[in-house]
Amino acid sequence: MSDEMTHELDTVRRLHVMAAGVRGARVAEHVLPAPFEEVWEAMSGLDFLPDLERIRILRTDGERIEALARSKYGFRAHLRGYRRPGWCWLQSRFLIAGVAGAPTADGTATRIALTGGVRLPARAAVIPFGTLRELDEAARRLGARLGTRPGGGS
């Protein structure tokens, strides 16, 4: 028998691990006083992210997702990644976006985590300037959509 212990990561912890592998990435974590199903329904479309003017899902195949995004500055990104309940990770040549949600232990609220930013091509890095502020703004926008305010904070 092995002495090795294994622990399953919830989606929020998993997002922290993924972001830790991207130099410059920041993670904003908040708690929304709403049930997971309601929060994830609002999160999964990604249209609450403040720097996106529009995002259109092009196709899904199981957990794989492909989307076309346009920023409020006019930049376009063809994103590819994975989406499942409580988890979405997308990236293009110049953009990374990750969102996660997990119910709190008592199930009355949802922990959310957000990461993303402008990606440096050919490097596992994002430009961190202003990123955390924008991620916190995304959490506020999501909370407003749900008629609540995020607690906790980055």
Give the start-to-end residue ranges of the domains of the chain. Answer: 11-152
CATH architecture of 11-152: 2-Layer Sandwich (3.30)
Q: How confident is the prediction for the chain on average, in pLDDT?
A: 86
**Sign of the dihedral through C-alpha 93, 41, 43, 123:** negative
Least confident interval from 12-21, 34-43, 51-60: 51-60
- Is a pLDDT exceeding 60 seen at residue 142? yes
- Is a pLDDT exceeding 70 seen at residue 5? no
pLDDT confidence tier of residue 108, bands split at 50, 70 and 90:
very high
- Is a pLDDT exceeding 90 seen at residue 64? yes
| pTM, to two decimals | 0.84
Please report the DSSP string for 73-139 in residue order. Answer: TS-EEEEEEEEETTEEEEE-SSEEEEEEEEE-TTSSSEEEEEEEEEBPTTSSBB--TTHHHHHHHHH
Higher local confidence (pLDDT), 95 or 139: 139
**Three-state DSSP class for residue 15:** helix
pLDDT confidence tier of residue 150, bands split at 50, 70 and 90:
confident
Residue 30: name the closest of 9, 12, 14 by CA: 12
- Is a pLDDT exceeding 90 seen at residue 17? yes
Higher local confidence (pLDDT), 84 or 131: 84
**Three-state DSSP class for residue 18:** helix
- Is a pLDDT exceeding 90 seen at residue 119? no
Mean pLDDT of 85-96: 90
